[in-house]
A and B are shown apart, each in its own frame.
Chain A
């Protein structure tokens, strides 16, 4: 069962543009994590959000957890080629030990 839907699946933009990636579900999560995966490597954690409505910033990246803890968004301001990669959201259920991953958003930022 796919708990988390990510959109868009692919995104190709030019350096300097802004973008938003969405992660949606009908399930309530106790936490939501965002990972970035570069080609040939494993995912690396960017952020964890745990409170409904929570907003966290990591340089040009802004993460938000929905009020109902069912969705999240990742906004990148002034994208750079170094932001290129696969962005994965992953939700943790209160009763579960496993992370439930979305299918990812492949981002390509061209100079």
Chain B
């Protein structure tokens, strides 16, 4: 039974296109996250939502727009894709999203985005 799932797993697209990545968690968690992992494996937070409310919005181009229709889903829409957007995007969730980072974060399997 998958805890955090993402679709698609692979996404190959042309520069300038608009694409979406979907994420769902069945853990009953209140907080969800989007991370970007670059080619050097560096994992960086992009956004976080707690009960559908945005609580973290790191320095990310405004071409990236998260949407949380309910607390079990956090989707990521990317407009006007650029070569530099190629990376692996991970969705994660945690129980409460408390400050201090003591909670376990459960990661999805990742979406490998390649922009040509």
> Measuring CB to CB, which residues of chain A are less than 8 angstroms from any residue of chain B?
29-31, 33, 37, 40-45, 48, 50, 86, 88, 90-101, 103-104, 106
Among B42, B101, B105, B110, the most chain A Cβ lie within 10 Å of the Cβ of: B101
> Do the beta carbons of B45 and A104 come within 8 Å of each other?
no
Query: Is chain B's interface secondary structure helix, strand, loop, or mixed overall?
Result: loop
List 25 A-B pairs, Cβ < 8 Å. Answer: A29-B101, A30-B101, A30-B102, A33-B101, A40-B109, A41-B109, A45-B104, A45-B105, A90-B43, A92-B99, A92-B101, A92-B102, A94-B99, A97-B56, A97-B101, A98-B45, A98-B48, A98-B58, A98-B101, A99-B101, A99-B105, A101-B43, A101-B44, A103-B42, A104-B41
Instruction: Give Cα distance in the complex from A41 to B68, angstroms.
Output: 23
Question: In the complex, which residues of chain A have a beta carbon less than 8 angstroms from the beta carbon of B102?
Answer: 30-31, 48, 50, 92
Residue of A nearest to B55 (CB): A97
Q: A31 to nearest B CB, angstroms?
A: 4
A74 to B33 Cα, complex, angstroms? 26
Number of A-B residue pairs, CB cutoff 8 Å, is 78
Q: What's the tally of chain B residues with a CB closer than 8 Å to chain A?
A: 27
Chain B: residues with CB nearer than 8 A to chain A? 4, 33, 40-45, 48, 55-56, 58, 90, 92, 97-102, 104-110
Q: Which residues on the A side are within 8 Å of B42 (C-beta)?
A: 101, 103-104
Q: CB-nearest residue of chain A relative to B6?
A: A42
Chain A residues contacting B101 (CB-CB under 8 Å) are 29-31, 33, 90-93, 96-100
Closest to A29 in B: B101
